[in-house]
Chains A and B, each alone.
Chain A
């Protein structure tokens, strides 16, 4: 299994440009999420999906769109890039299961996309 893959690894955009960050997983996980990571702020949830065709907003959704037409893919679209969107973006997939320690939901993160908006 490739796990969670993201493309591109690096991207530089000019203010106002649009682009799509790709995310794919081959583990048949039902849940997928997008986070952004900024220095000193941890990871913040942008959008998430609980299954194909179902998406919802996270903590910081403004300026981003998502769709989930298949279980495997969860692209993140930047509609009109702004310098405030300079960040490292992580996609994650997960599934819930019950182990001896109770119910768990382990998020598997992709390698990240480093985006710079000038």
Chain B
């Protein structure tokens, strides 16, 4: 099955700095890579996603890059703000089925004011 590894497990950044989270996956058939944000005690929510036919995608302060050859993808948050503090999960589709996801273990991001 799919195996998604996520690093780092914790990340502390100064407000205004950038945060980068990296993930690798094992299934070469995976073609959909979403990122979810989970605030303490809340449910996960989609923040950005990318398909395997695209190398990079941006949405305001958030960007995701994908290297399908190397089987890794990354989340970049620029100009971090205190409300960016949360747990972030990467995920990869299990095979080509984008409704089935395998998640990374999560990264706890803390933005210091």
Q: Give the B-binding residues of A (Cβ under 8 A).
A: 31, 33, 35, 40-45, 48, 50, 58-59, 90, 94, 96, 101-107, 109-112
CA distance A65 to B101 in the complex (A): 19
CA distance A96 to B34 in the complex (A): 13
Query: CB-nearest residue of chain A relative to B105?
Result: A42
Residues in A neighbouring B98, C-beta threshold 8 A: 96, 103-105
CB-based contact A43/B89 at 8 Å: yes
CA distance A88 to B91 in the complex (A): 18
Instruction: Indicate the size class of the contact surface on chain B.
Output: 20 to 34
CB-based contact B44/A90 at 8 Å: yes
The reply on B57 being an interface residue by CB < 8 A is yes
Other than A40-B106, A59-B102, give 4 A-B pairs with Cβ distance below 8 A. A33-B99, A42-B104, A90-B43, A111-B42
CB-based contact B101/A45 at 8 Å: yes
Complex interface: stretch among B47-55, B67-75, B77-85: B47-55
Residues in A neighbouring B104, C-beta threshold 8 A: 42
With A58-B100, A94-B99, A96-B99 as given contacts, are A45 and B43 in contact (CB-CB < 8 Å)? no
CB-based contact A103/B100 at 8 Å: no
With A90-B43, A102-B51, A112-B43 as given contacts, are A45 and B100 in contact (CB-CB < 8 Å)? yes
CB-based contact B43/A42 at 8 Å: no
With A41-B105, A102-B51, A103-B51 as given contacts, are A48 and B89 in contact (CB-CB < 8 Å)? no
Which among A44, A50, A94, A110 is the interface contact of B103 at CB below 8 angstroms?
A: A44
The reply on B32 being an interface residue by CB < 8 A is yes
Residues in A neighbouring B54, C-beta threshold 8 A: 101-102
Query: CB-nearest residue of chain B relative to A109?
Result: B43
CB-based contact A102/B53 at 8 Å: yes
The reply on B46 being an interface residue by CB < 8 A is yes
CB-based contact B100/A109 at 8 Å: no
Q: What 9 A-B pairs are tightest by C-beta distance, nearest first?
A: A42-B103, A109-B43, A105-B98, A31-B99, A43-B103, A42-B105, A102-B51, A106-B46, A109-B44
